Amino acid sequence: MDVIILDKQQITREGLKSILISQPETGQICLPEEDRQLIQELIRFPQAAVFLDYTLVNFTAEQLLVLNQRFPKAHFILFCDNLSKKFARRMLLTSKRFHILLKDSTLDEVKQAYGDLQNNRQFANQKLLVWMEAEEKAEKSALTTTEKEILKAMSLGKTTKEIAAERYSSVYTIMTHRKNIFRKLDVNNAQEAIRYAVQAGIVDVMEYYI
């Protein structure tokens, strides 16, 4: 497999070259120094593995997607220090030809990434996957303003009927909110939900009804 390494840091370019040149089935290794040279190299090697430091080059996400469409047999390894989880998720879900390798990756991870793409398997750093999973879980579990208010009322020892009366709502509505709160927080009862409210600062520990 031919390799294109576009990275503005010379030590990174040479380091990757040294690692990849010793791997099985590595073909030509190109080291373009300018963004505009990437397309020229892809025309020469349309099935190449492209190691690209996304944080140091001037390609937007949309331009990367266009490159993926123009060169559908190429693999794009985003080799970066820092990426937003939203961007990483978008790239990984858009095409199996996008891979993500963090610059603090171990030597084994670099070799694994290269081996995976040679076998048409998508690669992403385990650390990044853990971050993305945690962020996605946090987004799903985020309580609405109403749910936070109801959780606070529960923490202050108010019953479902009292909360419903204060909010001019039906008991059924408050019970539905309670179920949603338990589901989002992945808890089984009011006591566990209240503990979360105290730990998350939704209620002041001095207000907590014991």
Q: What is the mean pLDDT of residues 4-15?
A: 88
Residue 171 has pLDDT above 90, yes or no: yes
**Coil vs helix vs strand at 53:** coil
CA distance 205 to 192: 15
Task: Give the pLDDT of residue 140.
Answer: 57
pTM over 0.75: no
* Torsion from C-alpha of 178, 184, 186, 192, nearest 10 degrees: -40
Grade residue 203 by pLDDT with cuts at 50, 70 and 90: low
CA distance 178 to 193: 9
Residue 30 has pLDDT above 80, yes or no: yes
Domain annotation for the chain: domains and CATH numbers: 3-137 (3.40.50.2300), 142-199 (1.10.10.10)
* Cα-Cα end-to-end distance for the chain: 66
Task: Give the pLDDT of residue 210.
Answer: 46
Query: For residue 32, what are its two tokens?
Result: 């373009």
Q: 37-75 burial, b for 16+ CB within 10 Å, e for fewer?
A: ebeebbeebeebbbbbbbeebebeeeebbebbeebeebb
Task: Give the pLDDT of residue 38.
Answer: 92
In angstroms, how far is CA 45 from the centroid of its own chain?
30
State the average pLDDT for the chain: 86
Task: Give the pLDDT of residue 138.
Answer: 61
Please spell the DSSP secondary structure of 166-190, one letter per residue: HTT--HHHHHHHHHHHHHHHT-SSH
CA distance 108 to 73: 25
Contacts of residue 167, Cβ cutoff 8 Å, sequence gap at least 6: 149, 150, 174
Number of other CB atoms surrounding residue 168 within 10 Å:
7
pLDDT tens per residue across span 49-58: 999 988 778 8
Number of other CB atoms surrounding residue 29 within 10 Å:
19
Q: What is the mean pLDDT of residues 151-164?
A: 91
Amino acid occupying residue 7: D
Q: Are 171 and 161 in contact (CB under 8 A)?
A: yes
Query: For residue 84, what are its two tokens?
Result: 């937003």
pLDDT tens per residue across span 94-144: 899 999 988 888 899 999 999 999 999 999 888 878 777 766 666 656 788
CA distance 160 to 105: 51
pLDDT tens per residue across span 12-21: 889 999 999 9
CA distance 151 to 73: 52
**Coil vs helix vs strand at 4:** strand
